[in-house]
């Protein structure tokens, strides 16, 4: 069994945006890409809030936890998506 690959959240988010753009050129967004997009958006929104609050030294434990949780959920979904796509390639 291979070790779990670590992904950079910002790079993964850009990959999702690119995948969405490519899928939309074909006319529609597949359900798995759409679901991943929403997880990415949840993470990016939580990260933006946390970053803004950090800048003003007002980050709460709940905001920090939401950022961590949404990041973990997004990267787990991204890894599953990545591995599914990787196994589809001959």
**Could you please report the per-residue DSSP string of 17-61?**
HHHHHHHHHTTS--HHHHHHHHHHHHHHHHHHHHHHHHHTT---H
Answer yes or no: is 47 within a domain: yes
Question: pLDDT tens digits for 34-59?
Answer: 999 999 999 999 999 999 999 999 99
Total number of domains in the chain: 1
Provide the residue range defining the domain that includes 43.
Answer: 31-88
In terms of pLDDT, which residue wins out, 87 or 74? 74
Answer yes or no: is 49 within a domain: yes
Answer yes or no: is 76 within a domain: yes
- In the predicted structure, residue 1 carries a pLDDT above the cut 50: no
Q: Has this prediction a pTM greater than 0.75?
A: yes
Please, which pLDDT band fits residue 6 given cuts at 50, 70 and 90? confident
Answer yes or no: is 11 within a domain: no
């Amino acid at each position: 069994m291979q070790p779990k690959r670590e992904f950079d959240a910002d790079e993964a988010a850009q990959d999702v945006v690119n995948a969405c753009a490519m899928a939309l050129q074909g006319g529609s967004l597949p359900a798995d890409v759409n679901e991943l997009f929403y997880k990415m958006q949840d993470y990016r929104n939580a990260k933006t809030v946390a970053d803004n609050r950090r800048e003003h030294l007002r980050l709460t434990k709940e905001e920090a936890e939401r950022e961590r949780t949404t990041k973990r959920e997004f990267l787990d979904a991204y890894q599953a998506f990545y591995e599914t796509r990787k196994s589809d390639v001959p």
